[in-house]
Structure formats: C-alpha cells, structure tokens
Structure 1
Amino acid sequence: MPTDSPPPTEAMVDVDGARIWTSQQGTPSPAAGGQPPAMVMIHGGPGLWEDFGPLAEMVDDLVEVYRYDQRGSGRSDRVGPYDIATAVADLEALRKQWWQPKLILVGHSFGAALALAYAVEHPEHVAALILISGTGVDLEWKDEHKAEAAARRSPDDRNRLAELHIQRAAGVWNEEIDREFCALNWATDFADRKHDLDRAAALYRAPGPNYEMNSAMTADWARMLLDGFADRVSGIAAPVLLMNGVGDPRPLSATARLALRLPNAELAILDDCGHFPWLEQPEVTRLTLREFLSDLLDEPED
C-alpha cells in the first residue's frame, strides 16, 4: 500500500571519483518525536541495481528513505575499485552528504553483507539493521543453494544456461542474451513457480549486471569471512530484523546462524515467499517492516 508522500527526488552525487545515482523520498511522521533516523536501502548482486520503489513506499511516511546504485552498478559510474571497504566508504560519504547522523540500513541479498560491514565499521551511525534475504556470515550455504537452484530448473533451462555460459566464455554476448541469462538464473529465486520466469525477466535493467564487480566483491567478501569477520558482528548492538522467505533457495540455516551471533536480533520467516519479499508477499512485508519501525521509533502501529 503506497503512502501519500511526495515522489522521489533523484540526484547524481560525486563520491571519490564516481558519480553515484541517488534517490530521496518520504516525510518523517511528527509522531516520531524529533528527527528519526533516515533509512538507506542497499541493493544486492553484487553489481546489480536498486529496485526498491515498492519497498520504500511501504514506509516513507515514517522515515526519509534514501536509495542508491552502488559504484559500478545501475545508473552509477562503472568506476572501481570494487571491494567491500570502498563500498562502505562510499556509503559513509553519502551519509555525510545527506546530513544524516543515524541510519536504518536495509540490505537485500548481498546488500545485507554490506549493511553488516558498514555497521561493524561505523556503529555510531547505525540505528538499526533490516536484513532481507541475506546469507549470513559464512560460506556454508553456497553448495546447498547451488543444488536447490539446479533442482528447480527444468532440463531445458539447465541446457540453455550451459549454452549461454559457453557463449559468454567465447565473447558472444549482447543485451538480449544477457536478459535471457539473467532471467534463467533469477527464476529460481521465486517461491511461485508458475510465473517465476516472467517475474525474473521483469527485474532486468539495462545496461545489465557488472560481472567484473560481482566477481571482485564476492571474492573480497569471502576473504573477509575467512579472516574472521563473523566474530565482529557480535559487537553490533543496534536492533536487527532478519527477514527471509521459506521459498528462497538459499538455506534459512545461514540466517539462523547469523541471528545467534547478534545480541539484539529478531527473525521473521515469511511463508510462500522466496528471495523478494516485497514483490512476493507485499502486505506481510509491509506489516513486518512497520511493526519493527514502530517499535524502533516509538510510534503507534497501523
């Protein structure tokens, strides 16, 4: 259910050699008692783009909502370096330009990892974390996810993906092929298998994923985990909402292990839902977010 807040304001912001696409919307409710923390939505991929319009509209009467395409992604400049430290530094630079002392970070998928990394590095600026469809702070989930995603594909889809991988390795690639490749990969993320391919195809935005960024960021995150990053998240004192769908091919066990490490976490498990709760179960997502924010901001629930 969209709110009556004004439409988003878009801007390109210069951050350390890159122009970053940003969007701001929402008017904090007077009932919040002073200026509440702003919400920043962090997309996944890595190397994809933000697509949080419907999600932002669920809460933009309670908090100001900022969205952005990370360096190398979407409408932002494809300029490196591509690593976790730079992504965290970019977000901190944006926070300063937005003049926001405290943030509620909403991280989806790999964006949840970036939210955790920012919270560890800048705890004084984090009011809360909302981690949607994240994968925790270990690498144990990867094999199970790979097997589950493969099991959800038809033989024809598996064969077509194999063909596309060969084409990509040979340098035979264009936007049309990329759209098909992404749709086949993302289709397994939805709990409803009847319309999964159409929904996955609708997620695509030109110029498409930044595969260089994806490889570099994924490798850097793995390095951080092997270097003991998981032990540092136990120092995050801010409230954390972990939201995952039962139908996500990524195992819930990874999120459960993360929840045990966090001193102030609550776990929301959504039935009949995959990797995109705000698209698959919008009303449940809206109510879950607003309940968490109402408690955080000491506002009446609706």
Structure 2
Amino acid sequence: MPLHHSRQRFSLLLCSLIICCIKLLSLVAIASSFTTNDGATLSYTISGKGPVVLLLSGGPGFASSMLTKLSDIVAQNNTAILFDQRGTGKSRSGNKIDKETIKMSRFVEDIEELRVKLNIEKLILIGHSWGGALAMAYTAAHPEKVNSMVLLCSGGVDLSYRPTFSGKLNGKLSTEEKSVKSGWIRRYDDSQDPDPEGAFFGIFSSSWAGYVHDRGSVAELDKYLKKEYSHRDINELMSADMEGDVNDPDDDFSVVGKLSAFKGLAFILFGESDPMDHTIAEKTQKEITQAKIITIPKSGHYPWIEKPDEFAKVLNDVMLKINKTQH
C-alpha cells in the first residue's frame, strides 16, 4: 500500500477516535449543587450537550437516580439535568423536611431557582409519573420559562386521576400479589415497624406486575428501581399537601385552567398498559390543547426499562422535533 494511503487511513482513524472521545466525554456526568433562598442544598447532575432538558422524577419522593437510564437517552442529543428534588437522593442530608418545605409550591420555586442558577432562558421539561404533575405545576407558574414539555406516563392535571390509576394498577395484580401488598401496607401503618422505609418501598415493589405490560419485565424493574431511591416521608408530606388543597380552587396541585399561557410543544407519552391510561392523557390534552398523545406499544409505566429500544426511538423523534424549535 502506498505511503500516502496509509497516512490517509491513519488520519481517518485518528479523526474517528477523537470524535468518539468527544462523544464519550459529553456523556460524562458532572455533579453539582446550589443553595436555595431558604437555605436548602439541592443536588443535580449534568450530562450531554445541546438544548437543556430537566428531568423530574416521580413518587412523590423518588430520587433522580431512578431516571438514570432515561437521562442517558436524552444526553445523546441534549444536555440532561437529573435533579434530586428536595428531600430525595443527594438533596436529603442536612435539609429541613417538614410540611413547610415539602409542598408543591416550594418544589416549583426550587426548579425556578435552579433555572436561574444555571442561567437557562427556557427549560425543556421531562416529567415521569408524579414528576409530570410537577412539570405542569411549574409550567402553570412560569409558562414563559418553558420551551417544551414531555409528560411521560404522567400524573393528571388534578387528583381525579387517582381512582383510575389505582383501579388499573390493582386490577392487574394476582390474589397472591394483593396479599403480599396488604402485608406491606400493614407494616407501613405500624408505627413500631423496624424498617418503615422498607415497608414503603415494599408497597411499590409488590405491585410491579401492575406497572408493566409483560410480567416478564418485573425482574427488570427489580434490577433498576431500588429501595434507596424512595423516601417515605417526602411521599407522605407531599401527598398531605396535595390532598389538603383538593377542595381549594386556588390549590397548588390542580392545573385545570392554568396552562393556556403555555404555547410551546408538548407531548404526552404513556405505555399501552400503563395504569396512567389514555383517559388521563386525554384529560391533560384538554388543558394543553397543542399536546400530541403518543402510546408506547407493549409497555407499561416504565417504558425505558420495559421496551428500551422502542422507547428510545420514540423519545429521540420527540426530542428532534423539540430541538428544531431552539434558536
């Protein structure tokens, strides 16, 4: 082979190697934190490159670690921010946790302070499950600060979604699974139980079959959704805040009639067998009329775990549309 051909091949290989290294470096997660106006220290992790996406985990009370695999998909074409909400994950230690700090309005304020801290003009929000409800609450409060929104297997626009969700979830459980779940609920209600966090997570883990399309996926949920990702006290305090406001027309949880000022792109994604079903998605679409509803076939509440390849294609297509709106 002539020398100049060898040099050309070497140059091409070197360029390919450099490009691969740059791509790998862009996926390296950088952890940081900031202090809020009430003195809490909240943690977040940034990876990827491109338009900024803030990922909001559900629960309430689940750490952002639950969304790591989802963040990896987003970071292929965007800057992905995994945010440990107040009292969860790395935003737990040393922070005051009570009814004054764990409430929807405070969580919305935390997101706004993070946006200002990072000097982001407009956010792209991806909220999973209850995190979708938080995304909508933030958007209702700051519509001009949201570029686009992806509601993934999201909670509803008010608490009316709960009976549908619970009915769909429990309806898929076997008699044995319901019995195991009841045992965890009894432990959860026992103030003397030696492992209250374990009892809280046990209620979720004993219900995995209700969250999936294929029972064979339960083992995958067990692998990726860990006890340390969940925080009972945050769930209880936030639930009390939501339920306490249910009859208040100005409550912080309901976004009915409060999203008309948001004009950006919106996508509502849910699994074919998701207990957050199409009726919940359709009610949300009535509040965000420009939203497009997309069903993930043969999937439940965690499509990036149950159908990773199929879900990644759908999400990448959605993000491509969103990224085209960036200036």
Q: Write out aligned runs for 1:7-86 (5 A).
A: 7-15=28-36, 16-28=38-50, 36=51, 38-50=52-64, 51-77=66-92, 79-80=96-97, 81-86=101-106
- From the superposition, tell whether residues 195 and 56 of structure 1 become closer, same or farther in structure 2 (CA, over 3 Å): closer
Tell me if the contact between 1:54 and 1:278 (Cα under 8 Å) persists in the aligned partners: yes
Q: Which residue of 2 aligns with 1:31?
A: none
SS at match of 2:273: coil
Shift of 1:169: 2.1
Q: Give the Cα separation in 1 of the matches to 2:119 and 2:301.
A: 32
SS at match of 1:52: helix
Tell me if the contact between 1:130 and 1:241 (Cα under 8 Å) persists in the aligned partners: yes
Q: Percent identical across equivalent pairs? A: 24
* Structure 1 unmatched runs, 5+: 29-35
SS at match of 1:235: coil
Shift of 1:198: 5.4
Q: Which residue of 1 aligns with 2:315?
A: 289
* Structure 2 unmatched runs, 5+: 1-22
Tell me if the contact between 2:205 and 2:222 (Cα under 8 Å) persists in the aligned partners: yes
Provide Cα deviations, 1:191-240, integer angstroms capped at 9, x if missing partner.
1112415524640142x532232133234334268526311123321110
Q: TM-score, normalised by structure 1?
A: 0.87
1:221 to 223, 238, 242: 242
Q: Which residue of 2 aligns with 1:241?
A: 267
Provide Cα deviations, 1:91-131, integer angstroms capped at 9, x if missing partner.
11111111211110000000001111111111121100010
Shift of 1:178: 4.9
Q: Write out aligned runs for 1:102-113 (5 A).
A: 102-113=122-133
1:190 to 212, 230, 238: 212
Q: Which residue of 2 aligns with 1:261?
A: 287
Shift of 1:61: 3.5
Provide Cα deviations, 1:51-110, integer angstroms capped at 9, x if missing partner.
222222223242211111100112212533111110011011111111211110000000
- From the superposition, tell whether residues 226 and 258 of structure 1 become closer, same or farther in structure 2 (CA, over 3 Å): farther
Tell me if the contact between 1:74 and 1:205 (Cα under 8 Å) persists in the aligned partners: no
- From the superposition, tell whether residues 155 and 263 of structure 1 become closer, same or farther in structure 2 (CA, over 3 Å): closer
- From the superposition, tell whether residues 140 and 178 of structure 1 become closer, same or farther in structure 2 (CA, over 3 Å): closer
- From the superposition, tell whether residues 109 and 254 of structure 1 become closer, same or farther in structure 2 (CA, over 3 Å): same
Tell me if the contact between 1:248 and 1:273 (Cα under 8 Å) persists in the aligned partners: yes
Q: Which residue of 2 aligns with 1:209?
A: 230
